[in-house]
Chain A
Amino acid sequence: MTNDVIDHATAASQFIADEPRTDWHDAALWWVREKRDRAASELPEWEALRELASGVKEHTLTHLADYLERFETEATRHDIVVHWARDADEHNRTVHAILAAAGATRLVKSKSMLTEECHLNPYLIARGISVIDTDLGERIVQLRGEAPSHIVLPAIHLRKEDVGDTFHEHLGTPAGLTDPDALTAVAREHLRGHFLSADAALTGANFLIAETGGVVVCTNEGNADLGMALAPVHIVSVGIEKVIPAVEHLPVFLQLLARSATGQPLTVYTSHMHGPRDGQRMHVVLVDNGRSAQLGRPDFWRSLKCIRCGACMNTCPIYRRSGGHSYGSTVPGPIGSVLTPGLDLEKYAALPFASTLCGSCTAVCPVKIDLDAQLYRWRQLITDSDVAVRGRAHSMGVAGAVLGRPWLFHAIGSIARLALRLMPRRLARATAGVWSRSRELPPPPAQSFHAWYRASRRELS
């Protein structure tokens, strides 16, 4: 964890220094995007589903307190203990207290971006709890001491050679073993041992059903279910925005979620819990951690509709070519760049600028979050605020001075057109700054648009 200001451009430049890796990362995520397109096209009602899902989420968020109370009442009826946590620290203390009360010291976790956001693992480890992330991708990055770089594909920044090296170091596989089947088989056996000896399991939740007090968890590997089915204590850590009104809304979101995430019609396991199994204790920790504040922002509350499918990351030309770690945020990519500045504007002010505003994210979002408009809105707020984005405030000041003085604009234009023709290519590119570092400059036009327009008007008249 760091309080340093996130410098996305610098972090991204480190990622793209390895060109073959960048190209692979770009292509792998685009492949997932294409799978999403094929899956979406199988349902003629896809656009109606998106519209409905968006409407259901907007309704829920505008009545969120009522639905949370309803969920609590119904869940309690099913012997689920409901806890509330205002922030990350309160969440971590709550989870630790549950474990301590049960005498649990060995925790297996399935994927939960919320616990990443709260930095739960280091908190528990410092208090003597063994914490094993059991999703394969999350286990890989945990062994490497890294954070996930994608919310659905946590180890997408790694090649199989990296995983082979990590498993060789930590799990004793032969050096040079890089076959995904063989590595997964080793991880399977390694994790089985942890599942069988765990005395508590922690999962996230994809949906909370207010009507029934149920918890729904979607996974492909079966790790969440192994944990829940074996451990004597089950803890669900979940953000307050994950509640939906009723069972009839579940199929709407389930039809959208896996198709948007990986192009599957449904995840392999979609588990519905309405209480602990015999002899088990089940807890749900409802966490705010900045969500109520985001709900109160008229320009940004719709970002809370997010169902965490990751489609906006897979399609984003910046994310695909800069890697999830460059965002320095638990949720990277377009949705992360909309959510995270609300948590700490100074730290994350660079993120809304890590976008081309092409709108591809908005086009694929299954709950129709207007991501590009929200990114643009953050830019306006950041530019108007005292928060300086390195290098940008200065260049914006210069641009303002030039664009506000037509005579200066025309003069600079003439000089630039001449200079670009005369300067050696390398010098010209260096003068053009960051933009031209990996791009050729276009050939300078012979005249300005203004001059061309005047000349053409003369010809016409």
Chain B
Amino acid sequence: MSESSIARDAILHAVRAAQPPSVALPEVQTVLAVRARPVGDPVARFTAAAQHAGARVLSSPRDAVPDLIASTFPNTGRADSELFVCEGVLGVVENGAIWLSESRLERRAALFLATHVVVLLDTSALVEDLHAAYAQLDIASEVFGMFMAGPSKTADIEQSLVVGAQGPKGLTIVLRTPSDSDSASGSSSRPPATRATP
């Protein structure tokens, strides 16, 4: 037997011998039942939460997004080290975070190495809180998934907030609204990597 499997059996044995009398698993529903009733426009509340986390939030019809990025970052190359643009899966109104997953990132490291990150998110992809987000996502279906709320930050020197600690120094969220052509043809973005709601 390897050292690790000896350790494994010893730990599991010690844990079983030590476990206090069984406590039942409480229902998460107990909290969902007393959640605050959301008030106001979700897009406005998401925008406020994301700004509070340090992100810049822009809004654009879907077909105008490339022009918006070009005019917002006129002299920025699309090299990984400068600007990285990616698609968000969903946004959380409660905290302004966006779920990103491996399949929608060309190279994960670029998300952290870039000086500025732009995330594109459909306004239809907003959910109220983290409970709703996890109910919709299938987090185990990809090797990497992440909630990102604002640009990288630290307060490790005298509690002074410094944005751009190690990852991006800026995060811009572009909230996409349907284009006129979308409503005409009824087309939508590619299907999100979420599991069907039962």
Contacts and interface: CB of A to CB of B under 8 A. Distances in A.
Given A61-B19, A268-B152, A213 B140 contact: yes
A214 B148 CA distance: 18
A188 B152 CA distance: 11
B64 interface: no
Given A56-B26, A214-B139, A65 B7 contact: no
A337 interface: no
A45 B23 contact: no
25 contacts: A28-B158, A45-B35, A48-B31, A52-B26, A64-B15, A65-B12, A69-B12, A83-B7, A136-B156, A154-B156, A155-B157, A184-B157, A185-B164, A192-B166, A221-B165, A226-B109, A248-B134, A250-B130, A252-B28, A265-B53, A266-B147, A274-B139, A274-B141, A274-B145, A275-B143
Given A159-B158, A274-B140, A277-B144, A222 B35 contact: no
A85 B7 contact: yes
B56 interface: no
Given A136-B165, A180-B162, A251-B131, A44 B143 contact: no
Interface stretch (A291-299, A343-351, A358-366, A383-391): A291-299
B55 to A, nearest CB: 10
A153 B157 CA distance: 9
A266 B129 contact: no
Interface of A: 28, 31-32, 43-45, 48-49, 51-52, 55-56, 58-59, 61-65, 68-69, 72, 78, 83-86, 90, 93-94, 134-137, 140, 153-156, 158-160, 163, 180-181, 183-185, 188, 191-192, 212-214, 220-223, 225-226, 229-230, 240, 245, 247-252, 254-255, 262, 264-277, 286, 288, 292-293, 295-296, 298, 301
Interface residues of B, number: 75
Contacts of A212: 139-140
Given A160-B160, A265-B94, A268-B151, A56 B25 contact: yes
A250 B129 CA distance: 12
Listed residue (B17, B36, B143) with the most chain A CB atoms within 10 angstroms of its CB:
B143
A400 B27 CA distance: 49
Contacts of A183: 157
